[in-house]
Amino acid sequence: MPSLRPWWRDIELIFPLCLFVVTSIYLAASFEISTAFDSGFVNSAFVPRVVAAVMYVALVFVLRDVWRRRRSGAAEAAEAEAAGADWTGPAKIVALTALYIVAFRPLGYVISTLLYVYALFYLLGFDEKSLLKRVVYAIAITAIFYILFDAIFNVRLPKAGGIL
């Protein structure tokens, strides 16, 4: 069996475990969400709970794969590959998401989400040749989620100056 670094120094193992903790906090916070009226099974806490459940399932698969790689000795190959990996793209997305969270209340849902979705498209290189397509898709996604949360789930979304 090849020598492996200790589990607490293995980023492929630690990162999913950290996501598990964050997901657990997120799920616990979803139980603090209250609605103005009882809407049965599907209410404003439904989507966060579904997201947490999907995240748990995904983390189980990720951890299973990490465990298999560690046992097979493929961890050294993955470690060598990860050493040369470019983490600037994911770091930009994390920073952009943090900025979105900070801007959500002051700018309101519409403006902050529109800018966030457009910026994600830009960072991910979505349809680089057509600025208009990116804008139209960003508007469509913002509108769809606005309708979903405001009209269907009756979640009060923040508005910039009470307008948008």
pLDDT in tens, 28-53: 988 887 766 666 667 777 878 889 99
74 versus 67: the higher-pLDDT residue is: 67
Digit-coded pLDDT (tens) for 106-147:
999 999 999 999 999 999 888 888 889 999 999 999 999 999
In the 3-class helix/strand/coil scheme, how is the chain assigned residue by residue? CCCCCCHHHCHHHHHHHHHHHHHHHHHHHHCCCCCCCCCCCCCCCHHHHHHHHHHHHHHHHHHHHHHHHHHHCCHHHHHHHHHCCCCHHHHHHHHHHHHHHHHHHHHHHHHHHHHHHHHHHHHHCCCCCCHHHHHHHHHHHHHHHHHHHHHHCCCCCCCHHHCC
pTM: 0.59
Beta-carbon contacts of 8 under 8 Å, excluding residues fewer than 6 positions away, are 14
